[in-house]
Amino acid sequence: MAIEMKVPPVGESITEVTIASWNKKDGDSVKMDEVLCELESDKATFELPAEAEGILKIVAKEGETLPIGAVICIIETVGASAGPSAPAAVPATEAAAPVAVQAPAQVSTEAKVIEIKVPVVGESITEVTVSSWNKKEGDTVNMDEVLCELESDKATFELPAEAAGVLHIIAESGTTLPIGGLIATISVGAGSAAPATSAPAAAPAAVVSAPVADNGYAAGHASPAAAKALAEKGIDPATVSGSGVGGRITKEDAQSAQKPAVPVATPAPAKVAAPAVVQAGEGNRTTRREKMTSLRKTVARRLVAVKNETAMLTTFNEVDMKPVMDLRGKYKDKFKEKHGVGLGFMSFFTKAVCVALKEFPSVNGKIDGDEIVFHDFCDISIAVSAPKGLVVPVIRNAEALSLAGIESEVVRLAGRARDNKLTLEEMTGGTFTITNGGVFGSMMSTPIINAPQVAILGMHNIVERPVVVNGEIVIRPMMYLALSYDHRIIDGRESVSFLVRVKQLLEDPARLLLDV
């Protein structure tokens, strides 16, 4: 069997590597994890270990530059290369015909074990959590078949099989592993060894009965969003019928699932009896524990770091939303008919922020050591509440987008966030953040800066309040705005002036069109 060795992902910004030197020659026998060659990127040099034992066939020569994922070499495993040697054993023992028949059984029994490890998924990611397994212990898997889903603090991704064989799970669902940690092993050739060690009729029966008993390779396994929904309801995924591919439980299955009456009444008698005595007077006092996800742990760590490492202050102002609401109410139907997307408040705020950032560049900067980095573009991060927690996808070059372009990006990114399909590239590199707590009813808050950015704008709910306009008391839809900023590079004058500029643009949205 031939195993292709490809250029592994080595960092978010690295797209190609150069083969610096080969430690082995074409046709050499190599062992598992033996260093084959050294790869050189624009940032570092690293070694490429062998993924299996066998005969090396070099595809790319020294000095060649290859993109990520390109084939470097091929390893012919010992099980595959042992085939030609079997006929040589036959003439050596001409009178022992049964021994020649037994030779393939011995070769196939020598299953080569391939270790499946946590791949490198980004420069800043040091560990992942096994979210769910699509395969079970002892299942036969094919090359590139999805084994499980891994969850990092930024995204969820699938882990494919590196070879065909029998799967042996080492890290169960919920286990957190470092980059390079061992997740599972695949025994190559183990499937052909089974008939040699058991009765010929019994082995096929076992192979046939397994698929019949299983509705699909992912039956009983829930997607990350579905698993969270079922956990909140207290429903065991094994009791839910999945409608997804291979029987997987989808988010819709989890939302429509109802907790059965029988499991509620089946706790151990000893545990039920104790609360029964107290229940008459105190009610249900049960507690439960859940392990923090990688995303939640990372968010917690970064928020504490921001509070400790920045000189964060918050300034407030209020904006009369009537002009924007009138404009939106007048043109929202025609806007949706023409552009195919609704006209919301986020596009007005994003556009106003981009104009203000050009006038106050320090609000759009960051600190790098003892230097200040100013950005001539506006990559606006928008805070989105996803099933796994808060994520912050980025609208690239928002200053160059129209209102329709911004609304389309907001809808696209929010949808991908809800489906847990955001990539690392879609969540990194923002220069300024907008968060809208008003959708949950928040009237006022002090948002925390999204490092390494130096400012964040907080939107809140719109409330009709009496205000004085031209000497008269009138009722207007008002919204409080909050700007949290890093006082190390943003002075009070700049922060207040920035927020006032945003207020002016929103209260006279024609300025956004006229750029005045």
- The answer to whether residues 346 and 407 touch, using CB atoms and an 8 Å cutoff, is yes
Q: Output the CA torsion sign for 453, 298, 410, 327.
A: negative
Say what angle helices 97-109 and 190-197 make with each other, to 10 degrees. Answer: 130
Question: Which residue's structure tokens are 């209260």?
Answer: 507
Count CB neighbours of 417 within 10 A: 23
Q: Catalytic site residue 42?
A: no
CA distance linking residue 446 with residue 312, whole number of Å: 10
Given the residues 326, 487, 508, 515, the one annotated as active site: 487
Which DSSP letter does residue 249 get?
B
148 φ, ψ (degrees, to nearest 5):
-155, 170
Question: Which residue's structure tokens are 């009813």?
Answer: 441
Q: Output the CA torsion sign for 254, 256, 262, 266.
A: positive
Given the residues 26, 42, 491, 508, the one annotated as active site: 491
Question: Which residue's structure tokens are 């001539």?
Answer: 376
Sequence-distant (6+) residues with CB within 8 A of 20 are 37, 38, 39, 40, 45, 62
Which DSSP letter does residue 162 get?
S
Count CB neighbours of 288 within 10 A: 6
362's tokens: 């320090």
- The answer to whether residues 498 and 504 touch, using CB atoms and an 8 Å cutoff, is no
Sequence-distant (6+) residues with CB within 8 A of 207 are none
- The answer to whether residues 180 and 8 touch, using CB atoms and an 8 Å cutoff, is no
Q: Catalytic site residue 487?
A: yes
With CA atoms as reference, report the closest residue to 192 among 115, 113, 107: 107
Count CB neighbours of 451 within 10 A: 15
Residues with a catalytic annotation lie at 487, 491
